[in-house]
Structure 1
Amino acid sequence: MLHRGQESTDGAGGGELTVPMAWFYAEYIAEELLRTGDLMPPTSFEFRAGRDALALTIFLADSGGELSGIRVVTQLETWLSLTAYDQPWQDWVGERMAHLTAEALEVGGPAPDLELAAATWRWLEETELLAPDLDAVPGGGAVLGEDDGPKVWTPAWRLGLPLGHLAIHLF
């Protein structure tokens, strides 16, 4: 039996603490992809949005429960297709979260991995970041700098998703 402060990675139940290894691994992969892409400072909210959107994609795309055993290179195409601009990513996340939650309830409740994924999804949906208006019509005058031009409050996932997609391309 484990005592308070010890952790189990096998989810053997019995009141033991379980380490959410699949979520931590997804978060690690996402962070490394973004750091490698060097798209923005790792301390920025934009970086966090990109990391969280990408980690959520990586975690939810692991339908076989084999995340800790995957090879990143073999999954890049899947992650690229899921994060592409023309894909309904938000709907896909909602459906996968609902499916995984229903499965978890059948076996006794959400695992810590799923709880962290749900908290991340809430943050991505509820947090808004001030960002350039990507839907603004270009060509209205002089060339604008990065800090110029229209800005809008955008849900964090709308900013993080294209950053994650670009980081995968740059890998």
Structure 2
Amino acid sequence: MPHRGHESSDGTDGTGEGELDVPMAWLYAEYIADELLRTGDLMPPTSFEFRAGRDALALTVFLSDTDGELSGIRVVSQLDNWLSLTACDHPWPQWVRARMAERAASGPSADLALAQEAWRWLEETELLAPDLDAVPGGGVPAGEDDGPQVWTPAWQLGLPLGHLAIHLF
């Protein structure tokens, strides 16, 4: 009979063959991201922009955990690290790809599968956003929804949203 209550080092219930691999590290990272975004009250939780922010922030939280101790972290102690990882001058997509490759080299896991799915959605989904590169004063009304817009990969909207949510926490 398998021993219940034992957790493997990757945060999943590794009780034996045929047991369910519960993605606890990913679910905890997603919970942290969701709470940070809800606290910031930047977007409606039902919007695609909120999902982009949550997924980008969850990836940052999940992939920054290098010691497999995500469930034992104190969120406040990690805020500066997450801020630097989500800053506009940080090569975040390259960092995500490199960290995902490192995790994949360790073998498959339910956590990694959900992280990969979130990354795929962030890369492949485009959201309509204000064109920040548009020439100011180009004869277009200055209202929030009236200016020029451009289709943008979801991570490019989600990352600054996550960064701002960390600042507001």
Same topology, TM > 0.5:
yes
User: Number of residues paired by the alignment?
Assistant: 161
Q: Show the 5 A alignment for 1:38-49.
A: 38-49=41-52
Matching of residue 73 in structure 1 with residue 76 in structure 2: yes
Unaligned runs of 5+ in 2: none
Rounded to whole Å, the distance in 2 between the matches of 1:17 and 1:134 is 46
Within-5 A mapping of 1:123-134: 123-134=121-132
Gaps of 5+ in 1: 3-7, 105-109
Per the TM alignment, residue 139 of structure 1 is displaced from its structure 2 partner at its CA by 3.6
RMSD over aligned Cα, in angstroms? 1.5
Q: Which amino acid in the other structure matches residue 53 of structure 1?
A: A
Q: For the residues of structure 2 that align with 1:98 and 1:13, how far apart are their CA atoms?
A: 26
Identity of aligned residues (%): 78
- Which of 91, 96, 102 is the equivalent residue of 1:88? 91
1:87 counterpart SS class:
coil
Matched, 1:57 2:55: no
Matches of 2:15 and 2:154 in 1, distance apart?
Answer: 35
Q: SS at the partner of 1:76?
A: helix
Deviations 1:24-46 (A, max 9, x none): 00000000000000001000000
Aligned to 1:5: none
- Which SS does the other structure have where 2:29 is aligned? helix
Task: Tell me which amino acid in the other structure corresponds to 2:14.
Answer: G
Are 1:16 and 2:19 counterparts? yes
- State the secondary structure of the residue aligned to 1:64: coil
Residue 160 of structure 1 is matched in structure 2 by 158
SS of residue in 2 equivalent to 1:129 = strand
Aligned to 1:107: none
* Cα drift, residue 90 of structure 1: 0.3
- What is the TM-score with the length of structure 2 in the denominator? 0.90
Structure 2 equivalent of residue 31 of structure 1 = 34
User: Which moves more between the two structures, 43-52 or 138-147?
Assistant: 138-147
How many angstroms apart in 2 are the aligned matches of 1:142 and 1:95? Answer: 41
Deviations 1:37-87 (A, max 9, x none): 000100000000000000000000001100000000000000000000111
